[in-house]
Amino acid sequence: MAAAAPPPAPTPAPEPDTPLPEVQRHPLFTRIRLATPSDVPHLHKLIHQMAVFEKLTHLFSATESSLSSTLFSSPPFLSFTVFLLELSPSPLPPLLHPSPFPPLLRHLTLDYPILDLDHDRDTFVSSPGSGSGTGSDVVVVAGFVLFFPNYSTFLGKPGFYVEDLFVRECFRRKGFGTMLISAVAKQAVKMGYGRVEWVVLDWNVDAIKFYEMMGANVLQDWRICRLTGDALQAYGNYNLIAEDK
C-alpha cells in the first residue's frame, strides 16, 4: 500500500509592508527684484566671478565706485537696469522700501537643501534694504542680469540688450537662469518692445543649448565689433571738420 502524501507546508503569514523611507523635501523661495545702490558690493563680486568663469579676468577693471556712479543714475528700464535673484529657505520678507518693479516671487521644492552647499553664503547675504532676515530666514544673492534699451530699425521698435546673465556655480542647472532672462522678456512684452538679445561665448556649449531650448535664435553669421582702450581713446581728438582747400 502506497504511503500517504505528506501534508502541505503551512502558508507563511504575510509580512507587513515595509514603508519606504520618506523623501525629505526642502522648500526654496525665490525672488527677482531690482538692484539698488546698496547691492553694489554683491554685484561687484558677482561680476568678478563671471569674469573668472569666462576666463576674462584680464579685462576686469570695474570697481564698486565705478558701478555705483554709473548704474543707478537713470530710472530703471530707461537705461542700465539690474535684476537680482535672491533665495531663502523661508518665505521672503517684504522689501523695506517701495520699488517701481514688483518683485517676482516663486516657491520651489528641492530634494536637498541647496543653500547648505553654498560655501560663500555669508559673503552673499542680501543687503538689509531687501528685507534679508536673520538666522534660518537669511536671504542669499544667487545671480543677476544686467540689461538696457536698444533699438531695431528693422522692427521700428525698442528692445532690451542683455549685457550680463550670471548664476553662481552652486545654483546652476536649477532653472534660475531661465527665471532671470524670462523676467527681462516679460518686462519687454509689458513695455511693447520688439525683442531681447544678447551674446554668448562660442565655447560655452551648455549656454548655447540652454538659449536654444528657450526659443532663442543663435545667429551664426554675425560678429561683435568693439572699440575700447587705446583704440577708442584715439578718437578723442579726431577732427570731423573738413579742412578748407
Q: How many beta carbons lie within 10 A of that of residue 167, not counting itself?
A: 23
Sole residue written with cell 540688450? 161
- Measured between alpha carbons, how far is 66 from 189 in angstroms, rounded to an integer? 31
Q: How many beta carbons lie within 10 A of that of residue 177, not counting itself?
A: 21
pLDDT of residue 113: 92
Of 161, 211, 235, 238, the active-site residue reads 211
Sole residue written with cell 519687454? 188
Q: Judge whether 235 counts as a catalytic residue.
A: no
- Kindly give, in sequence order, each residue whose CB lies less than 8 Å from that of residue 24, ignoring residues fewer than 6 positions away: 111
Residue 1 clears pLDDT 90, i.e. is over it? no
pLDDT of residue 84: 97
pLDDT of residue 231: 92
- Measured between alpha carbons, how far is 221 from 218 in angstroms, rounded to an integer? 9
Q: How confident is the model at residue 97 (pLDDT cuts 50, 70, 90)?
A: confident
**In the chain, what are the domains?**
26-221 (3.40.630.30)
Q: How confident is the model at residue 98 (pLDDT cuts 50, 70, 90)?
A: confident
pLDDT (tens digit, 9 = 90+) per residue, 129-186?
A: 555 544 457 899 999 999 999 999 999 999 999 999 999 999 999 999 999 999 999 9
Q: What number is the average pLDDT over the span 215-227?
A: 91
pLDDT of residue 126: 87
Query: Do 108 and 30 meet the contact criterion of CB atoms below 8 Å apart?
Result: yes
Give the global pTM.
0.84
Q: What number is the average pLDDT over the span 98-123?
A: 93
pLDDT (tens digit, 9 = 90+) per residue, 21-46?
A: 666 789 999 999 999 999 999 999 99
Residue 52 clears pLDDT 70, i.e. is over it? yes
Q: What number is the average pLDDT over the span 198-225?
A: 91
Q: How confident is the model at residue 210 (pLDDT cuts 50, 70, 90)?
A: confident
Q: How confident is the model at residue 18 (pLDDT cuts 50, 70, 90)?
A: low
